[in-house]
Structures are given as structure tokens and as C-alpha cells.
């Protein structure tokens, strides 16, 4: 209840984006390896942004 209106920090938002990209990449790896590799590259860029914030 107390965190109901709390906004996410930039780091939390990037972490969520990273997690979603990794999930999509895992699902795509079963059908389309090239697309999965592209999603992994995007996730790596997001991970680098997270590292810069830390």
C-alpha cells in the first residue's frame, strides 16, 4: 500500500527491460536463432546502461 504511487527508478526500469528482452530471446531461440541473437544484443546494451548507473 505504501509503495502504491512510488515511481520506478531508472535502474529498476532498465532491469525490467533487460529481463523482458532475455525472456523474449529465450523463447525466440527455439524458433529463430538470428532474431534471438539480436534480442540478446539489445539486452547486452541495456546491461551496459545498468552498469553505468551503478
DSSP character string of the chain: -TTTTPPPPHHHHHHHHHHHHHHHHHHHTTT-HHHHHHHHHHHHHHHHHHHHH-
Residue 24 has pLDDT above 70, yes or no: yes
Residue 4 lies in a domain: no
Residue 5 lies in a domain: no
Residue 1 has pLDDT above 90, yes or no: no
Residue 27 lies in a domain: yes
Residue-wise pLDDT for 28-48, tens only, equals 999 999 999 999 999 999 999
Residue 8 has pLDDT above 70, yes or no: yes
Residue 43's domain comprises: 10-53
Residue 2 lies in a domain: no
Number of domains in the chain: 1
pLDDT bracket for residue 51 (50, 70, 90): very high
Kindly report the pTM of this predicted structure.
0.85
Residue 49 lies in a domain: yes
Over the chain, what is the mean pLDDT? 93
Amino acid at each position: 500500500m505504501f509503495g502504491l504511487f512510488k515511481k520506478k527508478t531508472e535502474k529498476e526500469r532498465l532491469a525490467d527491460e533487460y529481463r523482458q528482452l532475455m525472456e523474449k530471446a529465450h523463447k525466440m531461440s527455439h524458433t529463430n536463432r538470428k532474431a534471438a541473437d539480436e534480442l540478446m544484443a539489445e539486452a547486452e546494451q541495456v546491461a551496459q546502461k545498468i552498469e553505468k548507473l551503478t
